[in-house]
Amino acid sequence: MQIHTLFFIKILLALSICTSFAEQNQEPLDLSATLLEHISDGHEWHPLPFLKPIHLSPLSTGSVQIPFTQHILMMLIIVVILFGVFIPAFSSKKILPGKTANILEPVIFFVRDSLVYPAMGKESGEKWLPFFLTLFFFILLSNLLGLIPAFSTITGNFSITVALACIVFSVIFFHGFSKCGFIGFFKNMIPKGMPLPIALFVFLLELFGLLIKNSVLAVRLFANMMAGHLVIGSLLVLIFIIHPLAVFVSVPMAVAISLLEVLVAFIQAMVFTMLSAIFIGMASSQH
């Protein structure tokens, strides 16, 4: 019941945003501008539709200005939530874990036993487990936080998904160098006994393959998270484009897709973590 209530509130708030937009603008509704404004980053945060937006000013350190946008604020909120949940849950010296730890432990074991260990083995997987857990919970919380009307989905920002993919890309080289050495890492890309011209061609293919794999990580997460919000926004805006009676079709469909987005949030966090573990595990494998 709480999940259904949450998403009905989400739809009602989204409708109120569209209503206020339509009241303030007597011109025909600009569908593309409305949808892009909902998913794009900016220097204003709209926690509630009937309140004035909070302006986010850049941070200045001497002559250098650091941009401070809505998505950066969301990332800070996510970091605070993760620290606020995990530190109290697992820093206690009690023998029996608390309620929060009991809820998180099955998820942690699932990431360890189903995603990381099968891809990297127990030895390497145990070493890199904190990294993958951080990656998984950061993406999961980012996806889920975007389902709440007052917040936005930062994984729908291509710059952020690219940054996550670049981190994984860096870890691939770091893990490969530590396991095989600098020369051994690149040597593993070429099968033994291959003629030199073909070996150079295969080497270039492997390097481009690393870039393509990490690019797919960024695009997959970005596209899946952005698509859901665009579909929900498009359904709600149809109320003002077609007819007010479209609310009886648009709202139920938007609620259904919002519920589906909860499943998508978990799946995308799982897929990103699993593929990252596979790519990093392959960095030290012999071809």
Residue 239 has a pLDDT of 74
Element (H, E) at 250: helix 247-282
Residue 244 carries which DSSP code?
G
pLDDT tens digits for 134-156? 999 999 999 998 888 778 888 98
More confidently predicted of 35 and 124: 124
1 confidence band (pLDDT: 50, 70, 90): very low
* pLDDT score at 130: 93
Between 185 and 37, where is the model more confident? 185
Confidence at residue 285, expressed as pLDDT on a 0 to 100 scale = 66
Mean pLDDT value of segment 29-38: 59
Nearest CA to 239 out of 5, 39, 21 is that of 21
Share of the chain above pLDDT 90, in %: 28
Q: Which pLDDT score is estimated for 192?
A: 78
Q: Which residues pair with 64 in a beta bridge?
A: 61
Residue with tokens 């006994």: 193
pLDDT of residue 115: 93
Pick from 160, 283, 139: nearest CA to 219: 160
Beta strands in 158-274 (DSSP E): none
112 contact partners, CB below 8 Å, separation of at least 6:
125, 129, 133
- Does the pLDDT of residue 240 top 60, yes or no? yes
DSSP, collapsed to helix, strand or coil, labels residue 249 as helix
Q: Which H helix or E strand runs over 60?
A: strand 59-61
The predicted model gives 21-48 an average pLDDT of 61
pLDDT score, position 111: 94
Residue 264 phi/psi, 5° resolution? -60, -35
Share of the chain above pLDDT 70, in %: 83
Question: How is residue 234 written in tokens?
Answer: 């498009």
CA dist 115 and 130 (Å) reads 13
- Residue-wise pLDDT tens digits, 202-235: 888 888 888 898 899 999 999 888 888 778 777 7
Judge whether residue 7 has pLDDT over 60.
Answer: no
Weakest mean pLDDT among 127-131, 199-203, 237-241, 268-272: 237-241
pLDDT tens figures, 59-115: 777 777 778 888 888 999 999 999 999 988 887 777 777 788 888 999 999 999 999
